[in-house]
Amino acid sequence: MQIFYAATGTPPRFSTSQERTEQLELGSARMDPLADMESNSPAGGDPNISKARAEEDAVDSGKNKSPDSRPLDPAASSIFKGFSTREIIWLSGLALAITLIVVFALRLFFGNITTSTPENVDFPVKGEHLTIENIETYWQKVNPESDKGIQLGTKFIPAARVTLKSSGSGSLRFLFENPKGDLIGDSVTVTAAGGNFLDSEEPSTNIRATGGFKDLGDYNEYLTEQVRLWKLVVLEGGPDSESAAFTPFIRMPISPKRR
């Protein structure tokens, strides 16, 4: 009969199921490299630090976004939809050219509108009997109540304001001539003595034609005219206004300005 003796010391201990589970979890944690990296990082065990780091990364990513990445205006996109970049540039250049042409045409048109004419008469003008200080020419709209003897249908007539300089006695006859050289309306004759006109008893008097433009469009066209102008023809005579002895005195253009 053999007798076995147990070794002296602590008796053997058997592992329970709970201890085995803890050992397995510990082994799995040691085998996970990501867990090691997270545990070694400064914020490994602090969830608040991780959250702050995430918010900081989001702000940095927002700053790095280019402003050109913003969406285009839908209205602008719809206008140029279907056009290439070259076509858009060409259309923009065409629109600019048309705008410049329109501006140039308007400036040319309004630049040609003039209310004065080049002076070709050096006043005062001294004649044989009278001296004329100044003549101002213009156009006026016909007033049916005050303008008598005007040709039927006439809307605008040429007129003039004549001012005498102190002089002797004599007569002046006024004729109105269109650009073709035709005399329009009746002649107007006035007599002056002592530097005053007998009809107004003043140094100045108003003269008007009995014919002119029958339409407003004709007058508007005359505003841009610089060559084919109407003319005021002045003849001088003696104190006897009924005498046929009148000599050419002044011939001047009629200004397009209106009064």
Query: In angstroms, rounded to a whole number, what is the distance separating the alpha carbons of residues 257 and 74?
Result: 53
Q: What are phi and psi of 244, to 5 degrees?
A: -90, 0
Q: What is the pLDDT of residue 144?
A: 86
Spans in the chain with pLDDT lower than 50: 1-7, 9-11, 14, 34-35, 37-39, 41-45, 59, 63, 65-69, 72, 113-119
Measured distance between the N- and C-terminal CA atoms of the chain, rounded to whole angstroms: 159
Strands across the sheet with 204-208, in order?
A: 125-126, 131-141, 156-165, 204-208
Closest CA relative to residue 154, chosen from 221, 218, 233: 218
Q: What are phi and psi of 185, to 5 degrees?
A: 75, -165
Q: What is the pLDDT of residue 223?
A: 84
CB neighbourhood size of 135 (10 A): 18
Q: What is the pLDDT of residue 1?
A: 46
Q: What is the pLDDT of residue 196?
A: 93
Q: What are phi and psi of 15, to 5 degrees?
A: -75, 135
Q: What is the pLDDT of residue 214?
A: 92
Q: What is the pLDDT of residue 55?
A: 56
Q: What is the pLDDT of residue 206?
A: 96
Q: What is the pLDDT of residue 18?
A: 56
